[in-house]
Amino acid sequence: MKEIILGGQTLVTGSGSLEHLAAVPARRAVIVTGGSSMIKTGVVAKIEKLLQAQGCATLVHAGVPANPDTEAVLAGVAQMRPFAPDLVIAVGGGSALDAAKVMTLFTEYPGLDFAAALAGALPAARKAIRLVAIPSTSGTGSEVTKVAVVTFRDQNLKIGLRTPAFIPDIAILDADLTLTMPPNVVAETGMDALTHAVECYINRNIDDFTGPMAAGAAAGLLEHLPVSYRDKTIDSREKVHNFQSLAGLAFGNVGLGAAHGIAHSLGGLWNLGHGLVNAILLPHVLEYNARDPWVGDRIRRLAAACGVPDLIAAIRGLNQTLGIPASLRAAGIDEQTFTAALPELVAGSMQGATRVNPVPVTPAEMEALLRRVYA
């Protein structure tokens, strides 16, 4: 028996869909966002206006950093709890959305802490606080998943915490918010989404419902991501925004693989962009996994669904089109730093999503794979 959850209560998509907030009842709302982009572009002010028009008091918690750590999350909780919100709106990139998920749950359940989260002792539902997620980048799928990625500095590791209570009640996919993304963010977040779709499709936990979703997301991203990167049209941005969310719906029910396991370890050590690392890793991990007949067949089926003769070659070509470096060395990690960190990197990469990689990975194989990815 398998339970499949396809997001929260409502998914709203299309240009201008931010206006849906006017129909979301609330008395006290906290708006969680990242550095400054959503403030500078007026998005946060527009959200406040939509809420205040119905008599809702608002509080803005800004400054969620990229790769948010436990300290950043707890700082948000400390601001939220005295305000006692009945609604939290997360707007921005995946970091802001992930942090807001944990902040919201910790606010509703004051006894929770990260020790309980790591032990898997998280509540399965929220009852007092509704959560709305509005992504401004197109990659993480956080607006529809039960995962929240947090950096644990004491372990130099990014860890995906999981509970259905993290799934936002409402996801708003307004492509207008994506038009301000710089090209490198378009590239890196888009490749994160493609990695979600591909790793989901070759995961052994795949099923009849999520398989077509993952394949459709991969095909859509391969087609529209280069256009979104090159031309910045609202149509292409909306397509990528929707397909990345579809990938999120799929992998949230299935799992990922070693590319994500390694990416979380690398990100925890060097604060590298998650999508950038996934893009570099994905072709190498697929080559490693393709040795297995079942996985090799899945990769060929996915290539056919995407209309390409060779999926791994297509991904390498897309990376080149998007200006993604071909190795960790080309991404700026010097050899001495890499070599010194290799034992810790191997240990960290064996955790997380690597545990559900379709082909088992030994520590020796992981070290060899990392050396190839570096060089």
- Tens-place pLDDT, residues 200-239: 999 999 999 999 999 999 999 999 999 999 998 999 999 9
Q: How distant is the alpha carbon of residue 213 from its chain centre?
A: 17
Query: Where on the phi/psi map is residue 41: left (φ > 0), alpha (ψ -120 to 50), or beta?
Result: alpha
Prediction pTM value: 0.94
CA distance 113 to 118: 9
Lowest mean pLDDT among 141-150, 235-244, 270-279, 347-356: 270-279
- pLDDT beyond 90 at 48: yes
Structure tokens at 340: 């010194």
For residue 286, give the H/E element and its range: helix 274-289
Question: What is the DSSP track for 119-186?
Answer: TT---S--SS-EEEEEESSSS--GGG-SEEEEEEGGGTEEEEEE-GGGS-SEEEE-GGGGGG--HHHH
Three-class SS state of 271 = coil
DSSP class of residue 92?
E
Predicted pLDDT of residue 272: 81
Domains of the chain, with CATH numbers? 10-177 (3.40.50.1970), 183-374 (1.20.1090.10)
Strands 28-32 and 87-92: parallel
Three-class SS state of 88 = strand
Query: Where on the phi/psi map is residue 108: left (φ > 0), alpha (ψ -120 to 50), or beta?
Result: alpha
- Tens-place pLDDT, residues 308-366: 999 999 999 999 999 999 999 999 999 999 999 999 999 999 999 999 999 999 999 99
